[in-house]
Amino acid sequence: MGDTQGLSNGYHGHISNRPTKKQNKKPASNPRYIKIQLLGINDLHGQLNVTRKVNGKSVGRADYLATYLKKHAAENKNTLLVHVGDMVGASAPVSALLQDEPTVDFLNQMHFHIGTMGNHEFDEGINELLRLINGGIHAETGDFGGAAFPWIVANVINEKTDSPIFPPYKVIEVNGMQIGFIGVCTTHTPNVVIPSGVKGIKFIDEAQAINRSVATLKKIGVRAIIVLAHNPGSSGFNGEQAVGRLTEIAHAVDEEVDIIYGGHNHAYMNAIVDGKLLVQSYSYGTAFSDVDLEIDPGTKNIMNKSAEIVNVFQEGIEPDAVTKRMIQQYEAKVEPIVNRLIGVAKVPLISLQNEDGESLLGNVIADSQRALMKTDFALMNPGGIRADVGAGDVTWGHLFTVQPFNNKLVKMKLTGEQIRAVLNQQWQGQKQTMLQISGFTYTWDDNQPIGKKVMDIQLPEGTSLAANKSYTVTVNSFLADGGDGFTILREGTDRETGPVDLDALVEFIKAQSQPFSFNIEEKRIHKLKY
């Protein structure tokens, strides 16, 4: 089976155009030093059987990633495998339909040594996360053994006890050298996860939590300290122009920290900031980081450190047989659901937004939700659209990959004034999040201040939205609870909960004359040009 459906574009978090020149990674060697290798991944998102393109070449899939990791691990017996969160959530059907147990199985089978949590690990709440890590029974999948390695995070705190829910750090000994690992997760998690996913949890400042654990590690004599931080960062190929939250953390944490791994924004990073090596290796199993350390056995300090980001090109590589068999077994379990034909697309449905902020697939999804819930309008968050729909046969699995979160649809009433306020919340600080819309059109002016960018809002019959009139609006449950900063939606009244968002898209496409086609010529969103 496997999937190559519409997943090769940067706006899905996948960077398809990358520099591929081999980097000069190996540090200058001192015969006395202990050489240790770290192989790291971030933001896998359960994409076990998905192939993407990088520079026009096939890349990714867990069985190819396994081949690379095993080959590199064989080069140094002192090798540790680490991950930096978002291993699960927004996953491909082969993992998601089985409660992401296949992804944890893959990490176990590869003998990962340690990992931390990303925001998506909290998508189904703390109890399900604890079950995935510690093992337990799920109604759909039965008993699961859990992860065979520790997951650490220092800044995820139980609100009642004011103590970390998971171990904040872990010391791993390699060839007599003690390495301290500290985990942290982005403090923005409550803004990008449904409230039930983080109920009873608070996320404290990452640097504060790191420094607290560093102090403890230093007291017990650990001098080689590595942070697994699910926080964004990026740099140029040669380490120039390092930016993002990861750089802020680097400046704020104790100088005893040597390396900080990043994640979340699916980018490239390989830079030295404030004496610390900052590393991130794209996403979806399409790359990994190979970090070399040299530790002085006398002082226990890391004396040299360097990294290479390696792309997982499939060409000329044999997929790992054990991992391939595992994927095939899981594919067989979900195949009857995943391969169900829904329709045939004449043209691709692309989620890339134009300069106005509108996308073809965004329009289709918003239309599907408005049609199912029979409301005046619909609003869809772009972060919930995770893939394109390619031309040709469209299966249930393809549509699941587009909308993998199983968010319920919510019908509510909002006044015209509230709808305008919601649209103005698309701009918050430096962030712009363009909602995909159905049932109306509007114009916006980027020269206007935040809070006043939305100008004319027009209804289909040509009249203007009335500020004091009440309208029915469909959103998903994530938005309904104020997700992505759209807090005005919490004020919606007369709420009715409907089916999951995926069902709306499936039914909408099934109802079209086949093969179906849509276009984006109507210009629902218009940015004023000067």
Cα separations in angstroms, 340 against 40, 335, 525: 36, 8, 34
Q: Which residue has the tokens 């019908």?
A: 411
DSSP state of 154: S
Cα separations in angstroms, 455 against 78, 460, 461: 61, 16, 18
By the 8 A CB rule, do 455 and 392 touch? Answer: no
> How far apart, in whole angstroms, are the C-alpha atoms of residue 403 and residue 436?
14
pLDDT value for 512: 97
Side chain identity, residue 368? S
> How far apart, in whole angstroms, are the C-alpha atoms of residue 412 and residue 482?
13
pLDDT value for 435: 98
In the three-class reduction of DSSP (H, G, I as helix; E, B as strand; rest coil), residue 321 is classed as helix
DSSP state of 50: B
pLDDT value for 28: 64
Map 70-127 to HEC letters: HHHHCCCCCEEEEECCCCCCCCCHHHHCCCCHHHHHHHHHCCCCEECCCHHHHCCCHH
Residue 403: name the closest of 486, 481, 330, 476 by CA.
Answer: 476
Sign of CA dihedral 460, 461, 467, 470: negative
> How far apart, in whole angstroms, are the C-alpha atoms of residue 225 and residue 154?
14
pLDDT value for 3: 53
Residue 63: name the closest of 52, 48, 45 by CA.
Answer: 48
Q: Which tokens go with 27?
A: 């540090």
Residue 392: name the closest of 362, 348, 361 by CA.
Answer: 348
User: Where would I find the beta strands (DSSP E) of 318-370?
Assistant: 341-345
> How far apart, in whole angstroms, are the C-alpha atoms of residue 499 and residue 211?
45
DSSP state of 322: H
| Cis peptide preceding 168, ω within 30 of 0 | no
pLDDT value for 26: 65
Q: Roughly what angle, to the nearest 10 degrees, separates helices 62-73 and 101-109?
A: 20
- The phi, psi pair for 256, rounded to 5°, reads -70, -20
By the 8 A CB rule, do 39 and 290 touch? Answer: yes
Q: Cα Rg for the chain, rounded, in angstroms?
A: 24
By the 8 A CB rule, do 312 and 53 touch? Answer: no
Helix (H) or strand (E) holding 458: strand 454-458
- pTM summary value: 0.88
Per-residue model confidence as pLDDT tens digits over 122-150:
999 999 999 999 999 999 999 999 999 99
Residue 436: name the closest of 381, 477, 479, 388 by CA.
Answer: 381
Q: Are strands 408-415 and 377-380 parallel, antiparallel or unpaired?
A: unpaired
DSSP state of 318: P
Region of residue 144 (phi > 0: left; psi between -120 and 50: alpha; otherwise: beta)? beta
Q: Which tokens go with 380?
A: 């869809």
pLDDT value for 447: 95
> How far apart, in whole angstroms, are the C-alpha atoms of residue 529 and residue 516?
33
> How far apart, in whole angstroms, are the C-alpha atoms of residue 391 and residue 344?
7
- The phi, psi pair for 391, rounded to 5°, reads -70, 150
Q: Which tokens go with 80?
A: 């540790």
Tens-digit pLDDT string for the chain (530 aa): 455 443 334 445 788 889 887 766 666 678 899 999 999 999 999 999 999 999 999 999 999 999 999 999 999 999 999 999 999 998 989 999 999 999 999 999 999 999 999 999 999 999 999 999 999 999 999 999 999 999 999 999 999 999 999 999 999 999 999 999 999 999 999 988 888 899 999 999 999 999 999 999 999 999 999 999 999 999 999 999 999 999 999 999 999 999 999 999 999 999 999 999 999 999 999 999 999 999 999 999 999 999 999 999 999 999 999 999 999 999 999 999 999 999 999 999 999 999 999 999 999 999 999 999 999 999 999 999 988 999 999 999 999 989 999 899 999 999 999 999 999 999 998 889 999 999 999 999 999 999 999 999 999 999 999 999 999 999 999 999 999 999 999 999 999 999 999 999 999 999 999 999 998 877 899 999 88
Per-residue model confidence as pLDDT tens digits over 188-235:
999 888 888 999 999 999 999 999 999 999 999 999 999 999 999 999
> How far apart, in whole angstroms, are the C-alpha atoms of residue 332 and residue 106?
16
> How far apart, in whole angstroms, are the C-alpha atoms of residue 260 and residue 230?
10
